[in-house]
Copies of this chain bind each other. A is one copy, B any other.
Amino acid sequence: MQLEETIEIKGRSIIGLKDGADSGQSVKALNPATGEEIEPPFVQATTEEVDQVAELAQSAFLEYSRLSGKERAKFINQIANQIEALGDTLTQRVMLETGLPEGRVKGETGRTTGQLRLFASLAEEGSWLNARIDTAIPDRQPLPKPDVRAMQRPLGPVVVFAASNFPLAFSTAGGDTASALAAGCSVIVKAHSSHPGTAELVGRAVQKAAEITGMPEGVFSLMFGGGRTVGSALVTHPDVKAVGFTGSTGGGTALMKLAAERPEPIPVYAEMGSVNPVFILPGALAERSEAIANGLHVSATMGVGQFCTNPGVVMLQSDDAGNSFKDAFSGLMESHADEVMLNRSIQKAYSDGVAARDGNSNVEVIVSGNPDTTSGPCHGATSVFEATAENFLEDESLSHEIFGPGTTLVRYSSQGDLLKIAENLEGQLTATIHGTDTDLEENKELIAILERKVGRIVFNGFPTGVEVCPSMVHGGPFPATSDGRSTSVGAFAIDRFTRLVAFQGCPQSLLPDELKDGNPLRIQRMVNGSYTKD
């Protein structure tokens, strides 16, 4: 039985059903907890292999894009099954490569398989196809009305760049891959060099699922490649029609530029940086200062602060109540033990960010996450800074993200300060407000400003922990993402990989099933202006 075969790490790219050739160049993963290399070496792909992969993805797309939602769902559900079948092999490898604790890895595995099953069910449900039918009126005056029918069709092969901070949920078979496959696109994943073994295990699970469910070769490939050569070659390949990315602002904007300068520009969905501002209003602080401090501490240190939704900037009033909050929160942060960050470059960027803020006269250091005192090669210590609202507004560097467990408290004296800070914000994934009903009623203008700046507003909660559900928006205006109209988490994510196509006067037999008379697939459609499943 195929399901019984063990999946092994070969250290090779996955090119459709084949393994990548030996390019002579290979790289090993590093264990961030110890700094030691992990076996085996991973052979880096060549630009010739990029061409092979892209051509396979294109020929697979021609077939895969015409499969029914039900058939695509079988494949995607099978991916979830195969990931579950990896069991402890996967858990151990993720822990080794990322330093993440077992509970988190298992939780993220569940989220990843749950996400895959959500998109499988969407592929079948079909309302997101926006199928619309306007029937002909041949005797309309002055001109006959034609029969016009339209629906979303998949864009073409999609390149997905895996994220370092979610080795499963935003990587090889994460949200971008799941939503692109559900939409009917073939997918090429560029593995993250931080967790190649994790990438290959999941990649081989996808490959196995594709074989079991009889998908065309090339519906999925996985490439290893350091630097930017392989990634750039993928994004500029003429057969590639869209890009998904989760990572740094530098990486995301570089991809946007590459994609915009192609002879045929293509959409890039890059989810980049965000400081996820938190506004603590006076009534809420008076009512539950301790609870907010506890919650903020948990949120700010979750995943060693390496979440896109990490609350990096907190607006706190400048009076005694604010001081008490500061003391309580700083105490929790200070006593928080060092933890292993994902890799050296993230740890270095965090240390550099903390050091720069340490040396910035516009901020006061409350808790200094001094990297020299940490207990391992990739360890990160929490940090807390404080700035006046005035300095925060004047010093743009203070609103830049420090990716890791660092928080800057901004001390405000008036509602006016809050409105200025909010209006001055760049695009963000989230904003959070802690307020009593009275606070919120008195700060409607603040909420209105935030609504223009972010993808999700959280009331009396914390931004980390992104629920995967139909209404979730994990997006936000640039520079939080490259395309603020979209989300990379939740059911709406499928829309990113589609485009509208209309059929005018098309014979029934040639229409896609989704647009045929009698609605054989029983999907929700708009027929002559009314929604119906008939």
A231 to B498, CA, bound (A): 31
- A50-79 contacts to B, CB under 8 A, are 62, 66
Number of this chain's copies in the assembly equals: 2
Distance (Å) between the CB of A236 and the closest chain B CB?
14
- A485-507 contacts to B, CB under 8 A, are 485-487, 492, 498-507
Chain B, residue nearest A143 (CB): B465
CB pair B457–A506 under 8 Å, yes or no, is yes
Residues of B within 8 A of A451 (CB): 153, 501
A437 to B440, CA, bound (A): 64
Q: With an 8 A cutoff between CB atoms, is A529 at the interface?
A: yes
CB pair A66–B469 under 8 Å, yes or no, is no
Most chain B beta-carbon neighbours within 10 Å: one of A66, A469, A479, A524: A469
A504 to B150, CA, bound (A): 33
Residues of B within 8 A of A482 (CB): 265
A356 to B460, CA, bound (A): 68
The one of B256, B265, B461, B506 that contacts A256, using a Cβ cutoff of 8 Å: B265
Q: With an 8 A cutoff between CB atoms, is A448 at the interface?
A: yes
Distance (Å) between the CB of A127 and the closest chain B CB?
7
The one of B130, B264, B478 that contacts A427, using a Cβ cutoff of 8 Å: B264
Q: With an 8 A cutoff between CB atoms, is A85 at the interface?
A: no
A459 to B503, CA, bound (A): 8
Distance (Å) between the CB of A526 and the closest chain B CB?
6
CB pair A503–B457 under 8 Å, yes or no, is yes
CB pair A470–B526 under 8 Å, yes or no, is yes
Known contacts A448-B66, A507-B459; is-contact A502 B473 (Cβ 8 Å): yes
CB pair B469–A148 under 8 Å, yes or no, is yes
Q: With an 8 A cutoff between CB atoms, is A288 at the interface?
A: no
Distance (Å) between the CB of A7 and the closest chain B CB?
28
The one of B267, B448, B458 that contacts A485, using a Cβ cutoff of 8 Å: B267
Chain B, residue nearest A150 (CB): B471
Q: With an 8 A cutoff between CB atoms, is A260 at the interface?
A: yes
Q: With an 8 A cutoff between CB atoms, is A472 at the interface?
A: yes
Chain B, residue nearest A444 (CB): B510
Q: With an 8 A cutoff between CB atoms, is A190 at the interface?
A: no
The one of B440, B477, B501 that contacts A510, using a Cβ cutoff of 8 Å: B440
Residues of B within 8 A of A149 (CB): 471
Q: With an 8 A cutoff between CB atoms, is A134 at the interface?
A: yes
CB pair B500–A487 under 8 Å, yes or no, is yes
CB pair A499–B485 under 8 Å, yes or no, is yes
Known contacts A260-B256, A265-B256; is-contact A500 B505 (Cβ 8 Å): no
Q: With an 8 A cutoff between CB atoms, is A405 at the interface?
A: no
CB pair B501–A457 under 8 Å, yes or no, is yes
Residues of B within 8 A of A66 (CB): 448
Chain B, residue nearest A436 (CB): B507
Distance (Å) between the CB of A319 and the closest chain B CB?
25
Residues of B within 8 A of A117 (CB): none
Q: With an 8 A cutoff between CB atoms, is A441 at the interface?
A: yes
The one of B133, B267, B507 that contacts A437, using a Cβ cutoff of 8 Å: B507
Distance (Å) between the CB of A453 and the closest chain B CB?
10
CB pair A502–B260 under 8 Å, yes or no, is no
Known contacts A471-B132, A484-B499, A500-B473; is-contact A448 B62 (Cβ 8 Å): yes
Distance (Å) between the CB of A389 and the closest chain B CB?
22
Known contacts A148-B472, A440-B507, A526-B470; is-contact A454 B501 (Cβ 8 Å): yes
Residues of B within 8 A of A265 (CB): 256, 478, 482
CB pair A467–B127 under 8 Å, yes or no, is no
Q: With an 8 A cutoff between CB atoms, is A305 at the interface?
A: no
A132 to B457, CA, bound (A): 15
Distance (Å) between the CB of A360 and the closest chain B CB?
23
Binding site for B on A (CB under 8 A): 62, 66, 107, 127, 130, 132-134, 142-143, 145-146, 148-150, 153, 155-156, 256-257, 260, 264-265, 267, 426-427, 437, 440-441, 444, 447-448, 451-452, 454-461, 465, 467, 469-473, 475, 477-479, 482-487, 492, 498-507, 509-510, 524, 526, 529, 531
14 CB < 8 A contacts A-B? A134-B467, A134-B470, A256-B265, A260-B260, A264-B427, A267-B485, A440-B507, A441-B510, A456-B504, A457-B504, A458-B504, A458-B505, A467-B504, A471-B526
Q: 7 extra interchain contacts, Cβ-Cβ under 8 A, other than A130-B492, A264-B479, A485-B499?
A: A145-B467, A148-B471, A455-B499, A455-B500, A459-B503, A477-B499, A484-B499
